[in-house]
Structure 1
Amino acid sequence: MPSSPMRVLLTGASGFLAEHILEQLLKEGYFVRATVRSEDKRRAVEKLHTGAMLEVVIVPDVSSPGVFANVVKSIDYVVHTASPFHLSATDMQAEMLDPAIKGTTEILEASAKEEQVKRVVLTSSMAAVIDTPSIPGPAGKVYSEKDWNSVSIEQALAHPAFAYHGSKTFAERAAFDFMERTKPKFDIVILDMPFIYGPMKNQQSLKSLNTSSAVVYSLISSTPSAGVPPTQVPLWVDVRDVARAHVLALKGGPEIGNKRFLIHADGTYTFGQVVDIVKKKFPHLAERLPTQSGAKVDGDGEYSSDNAKSKSELGLAYEYNLEHSITALVEDLLAMETSTTRE
């Protein structure tokens, strides 16, 4: 008699990255219990995965006390992706900090009460690593897993961008503090990513694009006179590689436990390179693209990062280059644009 599949709880399952993680988990043969915030999102996720070993449940607010108590029952592994990523918050505490920090501690507290949970994988961000208050900082800085953003709570409460940086930084620190304080039976693996590009599997509209996709759409909806904007973060990764990293984090042995990993493609990039790819692959968009001045854009290449640990310890092979990633994303954006026009 075949053994029953391992059971994974995936939070925030309707997100851009989470949908890719969900697809890969199902392909790997896991049973997935997925959380979403609303009935509409529940139906959308179920529609994409008809007949799969999938249960979708609604969790309206991940920061509510005890919200994961029942959801984590009979679960072997947890992948926690649910956390806001936008730069339009007006109440930094309620919209950014609380969902990230309390959402993380709530999922850890619930998991600690379940004997079966073996590992919790937390989706974080390079925003917790790159020291944004000091950018551009010393030229040639190479970030690693040892680095932490120095953003303060005062800065996080004062500005939406710092609120996002703070939300990721404080949530990661809260996770490590929880592990040290309570010493649960499970371990954690934290994955830190920069901008994530690639195809969209989840249900989005041009008005509700995730932040990384919205950046690319703004580039292909510009004008030649506008000029290419500064590349605030010269690091990127394909969403399919990030999803694979999450699966590998579940499968990895105890040696990767209670560690953080930087997940990003080799080298650095600029928005100018993105524009060049679009111009090459979609020549009919030429009149919608900003023109490069040829001058170095402020901030480009001032720092880089080392992803060696993700390769050597997680075993992650980065399969997609920038052209693959941007081409797939722009194809989806243009299809979405066409669909919007027809409505």
Structure 2
Amino acid sequence: MVLNNITAFQFFGSVALGLLCFKIVNKFLPWIYVNIIGPKFLGPKLNIRSIGGWAVITGSTDGIGRSYAKALAKRGFSLVLISRSLSKLEDLAKEIENEYKVETKIIDVDFQDSVGIYDKIKAGLEGLDIGVLINNVGVSYSYPEYFLTYYQQNPKFLLDMVSVNIHSVTHMCALVLPVMLSRKKGLIINVSSSSASIPAALLSLYSGTKAFVTKFSEDLQTEYRDSGITVQCIKPGFVATKMSKIRASLSCPTPDTYVASALNMLGYTTTTPGYLPHNFLQISCDFMRYLTCEPFVSSLFLNYLLKIRKNALKRLNQKK
């Protein structure tokens, strides 16, 4: 009887262990393929050069947007460069035309002005064979700060951040999707942020707008994937741009390094950090949530951002 009980215990224990191992392998192997094996050794699953002749990039004169512009020009795309600084647009267009021998158009608009600018953009895109849209333009906080404090210092920032981070994405998609659908192919890359899926107190409005971009992208892909449209949402962590004001490192790549990595992710998944080290930030956060609880993890991130806030305020006071 004891032997039978032990045998039964061993049997059910083995089954439970087998199921656990299967579940781990079932989760782990696809992650390895999507984030490491596929992008690094096989390259992108989507041949973007066959999509169309023109690529549209918002926020194209600096950082990630500028790197996307050059990466796509290198692949032979003609470019529509959209940003608010006419002089920067002219300089970038000239540089790209000289280096990559592709055609460019520039549209100077300020996405903080949510009224009227989309008529100007629509006119500038008229008649173009648009295959790619990069929704990159975005604004963030100058430094981590309490929502009400930031609002009291700059009441207009609420409208500006929603206009730039949300309205730009939805309106630009609405402008280019009809062209893509008529040709039954197209690529839309929406730039979200890692702050959309990790605790980001003191960046509450920014992280909220980026969470919208993530959700919007995922559902938009579901709506139009059978129509030949690919929607990719990238969620970068820290990238060494003018906005972040951080030096480049392994965990904080240059925009060129980040964009090269993100482009290799095309076709593997709708939502991605776009860069392997940035994956580990999300994994670490999820693991801490699993081991502890959400309030504890949120407090850890809050303390980290409070330190950044303290240092930023100290620097601002020194300049006065």
How does the TM-score come out when normalised to structure 2? 0.56
Which residue of structure 1 aligns with residue 176 of structure 2? 111
Aligned counterpart, 2:206: 164
Residue number among 123, 133, 141 corresponding to 1:78 in the alignment? 133
Q: Structure 2 CA distance, aligned partners of 1:57 and 1:32?
A: 8
- Identity within the alignment, %: 13
Tell me the SS of whatever aligns to 2:137. coil
- The answer to whether 1:15 aligns with 2:62 is yes
Contact kept, 8 Å, 1:120 with 1:189, in 2: the verdict is: yes
Alignment pair present for 1:237 and 2:253: yes
Q: Relative to structure 1, is the Cα distance of residues 181 and 86 closer, same or farther in structure 2, using a 3 angstrom cutoff?
A: same
> Which structure 2 residue ranges, 5 or more long, are not aligned?
1-49, 144-149, 288-320
In structure 2, distance between residues paired with 1:106 and 1:179: 16
Which structure shows the bigger proportion of residues in helix conformation?
Answer: 2
Matched to 1:58, the amino acid is I
Which residue of structure 1 aligns with residue 53 of structure 2? Answer: 6
In structure 2, distance between residues paired with 1:122 and 1:268 = 17
- Counterparts of 1:246-285 in structure 2, within 5 Å, are 246-248=262-264, 252-253=266-267, 256=269, 259-266=270-277
2: CA distance, partners of 1:4 / 1:104: 20
Measured against aligned partners, the alpha-carbon deviations of 1:46-92 in whole angstroms (never above 9, x if no partner) come to: 24324331313224134446444344442011111111134366233
> Paired residue for 1:58, among 107, 110, 116?
107
**Dislocated runs of 4+, deviation >4 Å:** 177-184
Sort the Cα spacing of 1:18 and 1:36 in 2 relative to 1 into closer, same or farther, 3 A: same
Structure 1 residue 7: deviation in Å?
Answer: 2.0
* Higher Cα radius of gyration: 2
CA RMSD of aligned residues (A): 3.6
Give the counterpart letter for 1:113 in structure 2: P
Scaled by the length of structure 1, the TM-score of the pair is: 0.53
Residues 105 and 175 in structure 1, CA contact (< 8 A), matched pair in contact too: no
Contact 2:68 2:259 survives alignment (8 Å): yes
Distance in 1 between residues matched to 2:198 and 2:186, nearest whole Å: 30
Deviation at 1:120, TM superposition (A): 0.4
The SS at the match of 1:196 is coil
Match of 1:236, SS?
coil
What residue number does 1:333 align with? none
Q: Per-residue deviation at 1:107? A: 1.2
Secondary structure of 2:110's partner? coil
